[in-house]
Amino acid sequence: MFSRIFKRKSYPKYWLDYVEKVSTCEKYYNYESIRFVVLDTETTGFDYENDRMLCIGAVAIKNNKILVTDSFEVYIKQDVFNKETVKIHGIRKNGTETKMSEEEALIAFIEYLDDAVIIAHHTAFDLNMINTALRRINLGPLISKQLDTNYIYKKLSPKNRHNKVFSLDNLCNEYGVTMHDRHTASGDALLTALVFLKLTNQYKKNNALNIFDLVNTNYNLNK
Amino acid sequence: MKNTIAERIFDFLKDFPPFDILTKEQLFLIAANVKVVYVEKDRVVFKQKELPHENFYIVKDGAIGLYRTLDLDSILVDICDEGDIFGLRPLVQNDHYLMSAKANEESILYAISVEILKEIIQSNDKVSKFLIASFSTNIKTPYANNNYGQLFANVDTLEGNNTNLSDFQTAEYSKNPITCNKKTSIKEAALIMSSNRVGSILIVENKNPIGIITDKDLRLKIATGLVSIDEKVDQIMSSPVITVSDKITTSEAQIAMLKHKITHLCITKDGTPNSELCGIMSEHDIVVLQGNNPSVLIKELKRAKNIETLRYIRQKTSKLLKGYIEQKIPIIFISNIISEITSALTIKAIELSILEMETKPPVKFGWLALGSQGRKEQLLITDQDNALVFENVFDEDYKTTKDYFISLSKKITNKLNTIGFEYCPANMMASNPKFCLSVNEWKNKFNKWITQPSEKSIMMCTIFFDYDLVYGNKKLVDKISKSIFKSIKSYEIFLNFLGRNALINPPPLGFFRQFLVENDGAHKDQFDIKSKALMPLIDAARLLCLSHNLKNENNTIKRYVNLIDIEPQNKDLYLSCIDAFKILLRFRTEQGLKHNDSGRYIDLKNLSKSEKLKLKGAFKPIKDIQELLNIRYNLSQMM
């Protein structure tokens, strides 16, 4: 009760820590030491205000390796329930997964995220979802650097395909990534991570691999 | 907490040795700590002489070449593909890498921390020796007592128990159902049924079944005068029909019929009424299938009065075999049943032939099965190999006696041929005067083969030594066996010749662990599983048993079991040979059933990765048993 009154003035420690770490992080200058967090969310729908996140799944990449130890998967208790999307993500209202409140999930995620660079496929959507949720607890938005495999792919593709949007399925097919656990947050995060590794390997044949150029592939995010 | 990614990796690892022998918890711990590494083509994973990484690797996708550099030459030593492990030995032994690993194609690797593995090795003694020795170096697998049965990923699962066999057989059904459309008149439909001699007709629309008329409908609705025979079929058809997929088992089909109180099930492409009709199964089909069980077959066999019945039973046996193989019934059980039926068929053929002879046999005789039938390992129908032995007679009676048995043998082999066992192309049959002999003649023949070994006589020995008395007098055969051992004892070098023969076919894997395939001929580039994999194990078992004077058992698996009693020091090796033999025999049978041939030549292109791994796993013991023969009989000097 007490903390709620003062929330706008004094931010919780985990948030201050996060802001501090990202702003002072020096790892970005050395690509091999950057920690990337590849994430995906499953949601009740596409409306940022009315729909809710059901699950956040993420896995870290460092020095071109996907670290399964450094992964994240939470399921969120839901007040908003949309039975239409259940058939896509398979998360029921009272399913068997252990669930936490949205706030608990966000705290856990912020602590997990740390100073990492965020990667997703269609990052704007997942980030908007997370940021809207953060706003509900008077925090946010996230200040981490962000990459989008869709944009990196467009940058690399020989033809000018700026107007086309590529789905994760498109990229998995193109790069020969076998699809498993599609439409589970963690499963999609892993697929995105594999696509990212393949993309950056291709990328560095013609470019020196550094985070700033990668970030620049994405003219929509990171403004 | 749920960990979808680790579960996915767990699912991949669990199929590959050595991960398949870990406990679920141990494997999950490993999976949760995997690092996924992507390497482009030609990228080096580690270099020769480099200090070991903290991880070893398992190939998820792609292929990694292991190279050894000597001076300036780089030699490809091994290629690791899906499921193969590399880079483990240096980690365990704290040594430098002895080879370089380079991606031959774009690959995804799982890097696994050796620390976790070390913990597991300490707590799970089963894993340790096997892991370190067999996967990180090229030395032969240590057959530690306690990991018997787990050397091969699949033995345990293959040898599961299944008591109620016919219940799990896939049900047989008629694949060309009689159909008409709904505008057909009832009279026409009845005529179609009559001309096809069936008790039911299906009404289809756009290839999908929409209704059925059975004899019962005609009886209840037409014969009673309720509906006119000029009406259309849709007036009396039962609709909708109950549909199932073709994967249904007998018991499931029975339950479905009971549940819906019906006697016919429609088989459709995907099992739903809205897909293409592919067949119909009636209650009668199920009754027939249940008749397809061994005790019923043997009973029928005993009652059989003519050769056609025998032929029919042999065909049913093939169906039985197919069902058993599909249901993964233990191969020993299958081969026991099939050989029992084969023996019973042969005995019946002999009895029927004797009845046809004008007189009874003049003296005692014995009918011998040779080769795979003699070893009770014949599963698929192959050609017949047999011989006949008759009691010694006075010289003046010899000709009439021999003539009698040759004409009897001709009748028998002829009948066997009709039943489905084709004539032996090399004429190794009792109808051949060379193989229809008196006890003394057989003794002399074997003695000659043993004491004057030539390539041909050794080959004859490998076929004739596995004789098994199917019908007749056992004493005659015992006399021959006794004489054989006497000859071998007086001429022990014979065993070395037999040993040399057993090594004619080298272990079936080449230096790069690729399969050795046929170089030319009709089966070019195919793998000969009989001569390259089964025969070496069979030959070795025979030789070792002969050297111990064991003649009472011909079956390869039982021979190895006997050898374990006599040579407990080699128990692990012999157990591994038994496992390998079971896997290979099942494999050959599956291939034979699939391609409707002897299963001998296997087209490697058609094998899945896991099938290849399964085969390769079974090859190790071949190499080891051949090494044992080589040393024991000093064969390297004879070659």
**Residues of chain A found within 8 Å of residue B609, distances taken between Cβ atoms:** none
- CATH number of the domain at B4-139, out of 2.102.10.10, 1.10.10.10, 2.60.120.10, 2.130.10.10? 2.60.120.10
Strand order in the sheet with B100-103: B44-46, B100-103, B63-70, B73-81
pLDDT of residue A201: 85
Cα B135 from Cα B132, distance rounded (Å): 6
Pairing of the two strands A117-120 and A146-148: parallel
pLDDT tens digits, B560-576: 999 999 999 999 899 99
pLDDT tens digits, B583-612: 889 888 888 888 877 788 888 777 776 777
Residue B94, burial from CB neighbour count under 10 angstroms (0-12, 13-18, 19+): exposed
pLDDT of residue B225: 85
Cα B217 from Cα B186, distance rounded (Å): 11
Question: Is B190:B237 a contact under the CB 8 Å cutoff?
Answer: no
Which 3 state secondary structure label does DSSP give B205? strand
Nearest to A194 among B1, B108, B111 (CB): B108
Q: What secondary structure letter does DSSP report for B533?
A: I
The residue assigned the tokens 């230096």 is B511
Q: In this prediction, does ipTM exceed 0.95? A: no
Query: Following DSSP, what letter does each residue of B426-439 receive, concatenated?
Result: T--STTSGGGEEEH
pLDDT of residue A156: 78
Least confident of A203-207, B218-222, B520-524: B520-524
Cα B109 from Cα B391, distance rounded (Å): 69
Across the range A101-117, mean pLDDT stands at 92
User: In angstroms, what CA-CA distances link B590 with B254, B329, B492, B517, B611?
Assistant: 27, 12, 39, 19, 11
Shortest CA distance to B14 belongs to which of B117, B116, B83?
Answer: B83
Least confident of A104-113, B125-134, B257-266: B125-134
The nearest alpha carbon in chain A to B109 belongs to A65
Nearest to B35 among A67, A181, A186 (CB): A67
Angle made by CA atoms B599, B157, B574, in degrees to the nearest 5:
70
Shortest CA distance to A177 belongs to which of A156, A161, A197?
Answer: A197
Query: Following DSSP, what letter does each residue of chain A receive, concatenated?
Result: -HHHHHTTTS--HHHHHHHHHHHH--GGGSGGGPEEEEEEEEES-S-TTT--EEEEEEEEEETTEEEEEEEEEEEE--SS--HHHHHHH---TT-SS-EE-HHHHHHHHHHHHTTPEEEESSHHHHHHHHHHHHHHTT-----S-EEEHHHHHHHHSSS--TT----HHHHHHHTTPPP-STTSHHHHHHHHHHHHHHHHHHHTTTS---HHHHHHT-SSS--
Confidence check: pLDDT of A2 > 80: no
Shortest CA distance to B317 belongs to which of B299, B333, B338?
Answer: B338
Residues 6+ apart with CB under 8 A from B73: none
* Banded pLDDT at B406 (limits 50, 70, 90): very high
Pairing of the two strands A65-76 and B35-39: antiparallel
pLDDT tens digits, B344-394: 899 999 999 999 998 999 999 999 999 888 888 888 877 888 999 999 999
Across the range B322-337, mean pLDDT stands at 78
**Residues of chain B found within 8 Å of residue A190, distances taken between Cβ atoms:** 4-5, 8, 36
Confidence check: pLDDT of B157 > 60: no
* Banded pLDDT at B160 (limits 50, 70, 90): very low
The continuous run of DSSP H or E covering B164 comes out as: none
Taking every pair of Cα atoms in chain A, the longest distance, rounded to a whole number of angstroms, is 57
The class level of CATH for A34-216 reads alpha beta
pLDDT of residue A90: 65
Give yes or no for A67 touching B (CB within 8 A). yes
Domain covering B172-290: architecture? Roll (3.10)
pLDDT tens digits, B48-84: 888 888 888 998 888 888 887 776 677 777 778 888 8
Angle of helix A185-203 relative to helix B4-13, nearest 10 degrees, comes to 80
pLDDT tens digits, A38-59: 999 988 888 888 888 989 999 9
Domain boundaries, given as residue ranges, for chain B: 4-139, 172-290, 492-639
Chains A–B, number of C-beta pairs less than 8 Å apart: 66
Taken in order A152, A156, A162, A164, the sign of the CA dihedral is negative
The nearest alpha carbon in chain B to A59 belongs to B5
User: In angstroms, what CA-CA distances link B593 with B373, B596, B617?
Assistant: 18, 5, 22
The nearest alpha carbon in chain B to A204 belongs to B40
pLDDT of residue B171: 59
Confidence check: pLDDT of A60 > 80: yes
User: In angstroms, what CA-CA distances link B73 with B48, B63, B102, B130, B637?
Assistant: 13, 21, 15, 32, 33
Cα B309 from Cα B568, distance rounded (Å): 47
Q: What tokens appear for B166 in the block?
A: 């016919």
Cis peptide before B209 (omega within 30 of 0): no
**Residues of chain A found within 8 Å of residue B2, distances taken between Cβ atoms:** 73, 75, 97-98
Cα B37 from Cα A68, distance rounded (Å): 11
The residue assigned the tokens 């699949």 is B154
Candidates B36, B41, B43, B116, partner chain A, best to mutate (most A CBs within 10 A): B36
